[in-house]
Structures are given as structure tokens and as C-alpha cells.
Amino acid sequence: MAYQTLKQEYLNMPPVTRAYTTACVITSLAVQLELTSPFQLYFNPILIYKGQIWRLITTFLFFGTFGFNFFFNMIFTYRYCRMLEEGSFRNRTSDFVTMFLFGGGLMIAIGFSVNLLFLGQAFTIMLVYIWSRRNPFFRMNFFGLVNFQAPYLPWALLSFSVLLGNTVYIDLIGIVVGHIYYFIEDVFPNQRGGFRILKTPTILKTIFDNHTDDPDYVPLPEERPGGFDWGQNRQDENQAPPQQEDRQ
């Protein structure tokens, strides 16, 4: 029964989220089983120049060996990636892939000038940042200690990451890249004289958008935004106020 539930949940994931999270889990599993080594995966400009192009991708896929950090990052990657794909990018898979390419490309450009090894955590923070700016009125609860609105979530995660002993500038890169994408997609085009800077390539639209929705597809429930399967909706006679999420 548990296997069937897990299988159904996996099949219900939207395609980009399913592909990315699967690649992350397989990469970490391969390292855990000693089928490969982190030394073959990390971002290294010199080795990339020598032809080890796969490092441009694997730097985003390795979140460490199985442990608290791995599961913590994977849960956030899965949840916020899925909510973006099912929310503001619903039926716009090509635009979602463009966001992936833009964010990853910008992080790689930064990586050539800064000593970085793995960019998966920064990529997760970027996803969280973009979701939080597009859902500014959601109320969050951080481990039952602090209540705040969604835009403060990336900073809460950065603070928690520092407490875990992680390097702060990795999360800062994710926040900076996320804000750049948010600005050029959601802010600048709506200004006087503004226009869309980031255009989705036609080839991506042809590959990803030339399809109809699967009638058996079950989207992520909107009443559970923002992270884990926690929290409840609060209803009002006139309107539904911001939703509350509890992290335990």
C-alpha cells in the first residue's frame, strides 16, 4: 500500500520537478554507493575547459550524502519546485525550463569568478525566493517559533543554514539570482516603458508546450503551500485570509 501511494505521488509530480528531483536523488545515491565520487561532480572551471562538461550539470544535482542536510534540501527543492510548476508556471513548462536555464547559467557565470563547488543549494534558494515573491501574502511559521510572510522565508532559510554550519554566500547567490529573475520577469515589464527581457526560445515551446494536460494528473493542493505537508486554511465569511503553514 505504501509503495502504491509513493508511486502515485511520484507519477503525479509535474515533469520538470520529477526530472530534477529524480536526478538529484540518483546522483546522491550513486555517491552513497560509491559508484562515483564528489570529486567527479563538483564545479571546476579548469576541468570544464578541459572537456569535463558534465560538471556544469552535476554541480546542481549533488546535495551531499544521505543525512539531515540532504533530506532538508530535497524536501524544499521538491515542494517549491513543484508549487512553482503547478502555480505561476502552470501550462507554461517551456517558461519554467527557461527559468531553470537562466538561473543555472547565471550561477555558473558567478561560479567562474567565485570559488564554488556545488550549486544545488543555491538553486533551491532561488526557487524558494521566486515562489515567495509571487506569493507575498502567505503566512509562514518557522518551527513554531516565528511567524512571518512568505517573502521572508529565504532569509529564514539562510539563517537556519548558517546555524547548520553551511557557507552563507551559497544561499546569498541563490537569493541574488532569484531576485534578478523576479525583477526582469515580474517588475520591469510592468514599469512605464518596460518590456520582457527574457524570451522563451521557440524550440523550448515546441518541445515542452505542444501537448495537452493529462486528465489523470493531480496537482498539488493549493491549501498546503510553502513547504511540507503542514498547516490548515482559515476561512472567513467574506474572504480567505493568508494561509498558515506550520513547520514541525
Asked if residue 244 is part of any domain, the answer here is no
Percent of the chain at pLDDT exceeding 90? 56
Report pTM: 0.81
In a domain, 28, yes or no: yes
Strand partners, 141: 147, 246
Asked if residue 192 is part of any domain, the answer here is yes
Tell me: pLDDT of 51 over 80.
yes
Q: Which domain holds residue 117?
A: 14-210
Q: What is the pLDDT of residues 14-32, one digit of tens each?
A: 999 999 999 999 999 999 9
- For residue 202, the domain's CATH number is 1.20.1540.10
Give domain status of residue 248, yes or no: no
Indicate the number of domains in the chain: 1
Q: In terms of Cα–Cα distance, which of 76, 84, 117, 79 is closest to 100? A: 84
232 within some domain: no
**pLDDT tens, 162-218?**
887 777 889 999 999 999 999 999 999 998 888 889 999 999 999 998 654 554 445
Residue 228 within a domain: no
Domain contains 168? yes
Cell 554566500 -> residue? 169
The verdict on residue 246 lying in a domain is no
